[in-house]
Amino acid sequence: MSKNLKNIGIVAGATVLSRVLGLVREICTAAVFGTSALNSAYVTAFTLPNLFRRLLGEGALTAAFVPTLTHELEHKQREGAFQLLSKVASWLALVTAVLVAVAMIVFSRADLWLATVQRWGVAPATAERLELGARLAVILFPYMVFVCLAAAFSAACQVLGRFSEPALSPVWLNLSIIGALALGGWWAWGAPERMNLLCLGVLLGGFLQMAVPAAVLWGEGWRPAFDLRPDERVREIVRLMAPTVIGSAVYLINISMSRFVGLSLNDNAATVLNLATRVMELPIGVFTAAIATVVFPMIARHAAREEWGALSADYHKGMRLVLLINIPAAAGLALLSEPIVRLLFQRGAFHASDTALMTPILAVYALGLPFLSFTSLALRGFYALRDTATPVRAAGLSFVANIGLSLVLMQWLSTVGLALASNLAVIVQAWYLQSRLVRKREGFALTPLLPSLGKIIFATLVMGVAVWAGARGAALLPLGRKTADLVVVVGVIPLAAALYGGLLWAMKIEGREELEALLTKVRAKFSW
């Protein structure tokens, strides 16, 4: 048990380190390039290999590969497991290499297809931004090969009981990018040269993400072999991956489409959308993922045993905790979006005008946080019931809603309209998932949560007034603007959180004892 807790602590510590470095990476990138067309082109170009990384690499592959590889290790020892690893890596390398080659050829001839779309009425400025993004995509797409192989190697390391190296995988990318930005700043090159160096930093980080777990496997006795012979185990992994790929990728696809549409809208839309998403996703990454990780095995076990009453109870506990954390987080992030953006990003090439541009976008994204967290846990309900078809349908519905709403709302609200469209698409997905869950099992109905929800909303309103008053008070202090922002972030936010928690405690929120027990499990899983 102590060894398991140690491994969990290693993974949790590495995850927190990775997210902190990821935010530092975005801060440095914004300081060097601001919200320029060049930065927006980079963000959009890097979105493409990242999208395929999610589709072919992380998540879906790990979920399908780990059980199969574990079975091989148990029944055929390391020799059989290493043979399967070589087969999976061979097919993964072939598929990703073909995709990369096709993408590089298509984007290298961007001048041809952009000339065609210009004849359809696309503005010359938009065509220039798209061409710049295509040029950077040619450089960045090989990253996909490295990071997809890294996902397979990291999964194999976890099966062998090696957790620290895979958990640190994102750290190498962040450090490589930060180092590339520092080197470019030290040499004081122009923006195009710094951007090329940044892209090389991405490729170096991707290579390290692949090389480090591969070196661990070499030390464990694996010797890579290129093997494309037909194998039922590989086909089984593909079958297991397919529904998860489609169902789990919708959020990333929606974000990606927002950036592509944003690149056609103006110079800075893709950049500010990316930065706002980064800040907004911190509560998702830390809290919601922790809750879902704890709740999912519990409800899956109840579903397997057909313990429907216990399943409903644990689902409601998890959902209550998700809403309890994310509703006030959304309110606080929306109210304090300006000082948070100014404190994190306003330096170097990121100016006050960029802060003014990003502030409402972050506020809009923040208001969608509870629905995004709700969707994350609702998906686990379907997976516990072994239903992968409904999440796929929900994904398609959300995708169509996002595209349609983006094209309409950006005409009226510009970049803010793209953020609002993304939120509305998540709301549509959340409604669809919850309505279908209730059709499957009435125990998933949210009626038992209504008393808790009322208390959460009341406590959030009181907290919001305190946050607003605290921010106004800090602004009146004889301090510099950045110092006042720091006072808000490190002073007002903790005091407001304490006020919120005290109000809920005083109102004796429903399920308090169960929530404390569940929160204890979350802390045990995601703390040292």
pLDDT digits 0-9 by tens, 90-139: 999 999 999 999 999 988 887 777 777 667 666 777 778 888 888 999 99
Tell me, what DSSP letter sits at residue 446?
Answer: S
Say how many CA atoms lie within 13 Å of 61 toward its Cβ.
23
Query: Quick one: which of 50, 263, 348, 8 has its CA closest to 173?
Result: 50
pLDDT of residue 499: 95
Q: Which of 215, 241, 267 is the last residue of a domain?
A: 241
Which residues are CB-contacts of 336 (< 8 A; sequence separation ≥ 6)? Answer: 467, 471, 488, 489, 492, 493
Same domain, 358 and 299: yes
Model pLDDT for residues 237-282, shown as the tens digit of each residue: 887 776 666 655 565 666 667 667 777 777 888 889 889 988 887 7
Give residue 390's identity as a one-letter amino acid code. T
Pairwise CA distance, residues 155 & 146, whole Å:
14
Same domain, 297 and 385: yes
Name the percent of the chain lying above pLDDT 90: 42
Sign of the dihedral through C-alpha 364, 365, 371, 373:
negative
CB-count burial class (<10 Å; 0-12, 13-18, 19+) for 80 = middle
| Longest distance between any two alpha carbons in the chain, whole Å | 72
Q: Which of 241, 261, 292 is the last residue of a domain?
A: 241
User: Long-range CB contacts (< 8 A, 24+ apart) of 516-525?
Assistant: 518/291, 518/294, 518/295, 518/317, 518/318, 518/321, 519/321, 521/294, 522/290, 522/291, 522/294, 522/321, 524/5, 524/8, 525/8, 525/12, 525/290, 525/293, 525/294
Same domain, 325 and 216: no
Give me the domain span that covers residue 273.
249-528
Same domain, 504 and 475: yes
Same domain, 266 and 201: no
Model pLDDT for residues 336-373, shown as the tens digit of each residue: 999 999 999 999 999 999 999 999 999 999 999 999 88
Same domain, 441 and 517: yes
Same domain, 276 and 232: no
pLDDT of residue 297: 67
Given a cut of 90, is residue 283 above it in pLDDT? Answer: no
Same domain, 229 and 257: no
Same domain, 204 and 287: no
Q: Which of 241, 273, 307 is the last residue of a domain?
A: 241
Same domain, 177 and 277: no
Same domain, 372 and 278: yes
pLDDT of residue 67: 72
Given a cut of 70, is residue 236 above it in pLDDT? Answer: yes
User: Are 181 and 201 spatial neighbours (Cβ–Cβ below 8 Å)?
Assistant: yes
How many domains, in total, are found in the chain? 2
Six token digits for residue 518: 């569940």
Same domain, 258 and 191: no
Six token digits for residue 85: 């690893």
